[in-house]
Amino acid sequence: MKIIRVTAGVIKDNDKVLITRRAPKEDFAGGWEFPGGKIEKNETPQDSLVRELKEELNIDVSVDSFCTEVIHDYGNKKINLIAYYCTIVAGEIQVIVHDTYRWVKINDLLKYDLLPADVPIAEKVIKDCCLAEE
C-alpha cells in the first residue's frame, strides 16, 4: 500500500491551539484535525504546509520547529503525517474546505473527536506544553 505524505500545522496562541473540523463531504467528515494537507512532488513538508494553510484557511504562516511524525493505517490508505509548530504571520482565518475551526486549550485537545492520526500529535503538543511550564 502506498504511503501518502501529509503535513499538519500546530498553530499555537498562548495556551490554545487551532483545530479544524472536516466538512460533511470530506473523508472522515466531522472529525477534528490539525490543518494541513498532502505534500506534492518536489515540495518540502514545510513548503507544503505554508501552501496548504493558505489554500485551506487563507492564512500565511511561518513554520517553526518540528513537532512529531506519525504513520497511521486507515485500512484503505496509509498516511505519514509530519507535524510542525507554526505561527500565523498574516491573514484572518477563513474556513474553505473545513466546516468550522476552534481555538482549543491545549490540555483539552483530547476531549475532541480527533482523527486517529492526529491523536499522537495532540499528545505530543500536551507533553511539550507541560514541559515548557516546568
pLDDT tens string for the chain (134 positions)?
A: 789 999 999 999 989 999 999 987 777 778 999 999 999 999 999 999 999 999 999 999 999 999 999 999 988 889 999 999 999 999 999 999 899 999 999 999 999 999 999 999 999 999 988 765 55
Is 93:125 a contact under the CB 8 Å cutoff?
Answer: no
Give CA separation, 31 vs 6, 116, 122, in Å. 17, 9, 14
pTM for this entry: 0.92
Query: Structurally, how many domains does the chain consist of?
Result: 1
* Residue ranges making up the domain that contains 59: 3-133
- Strand 16-22 vs strand 32-33: parallel, antiparallel, or unpaired? antiparallel
Is 107:22 a contact under the CB 8 Å cutoff?
Answer: no
Looking up residue 37, the CATH number of its domain turns out to be 3.90.79.10
Q: Dig out the grid coordinates for 8 from the structure.
A: 499538519
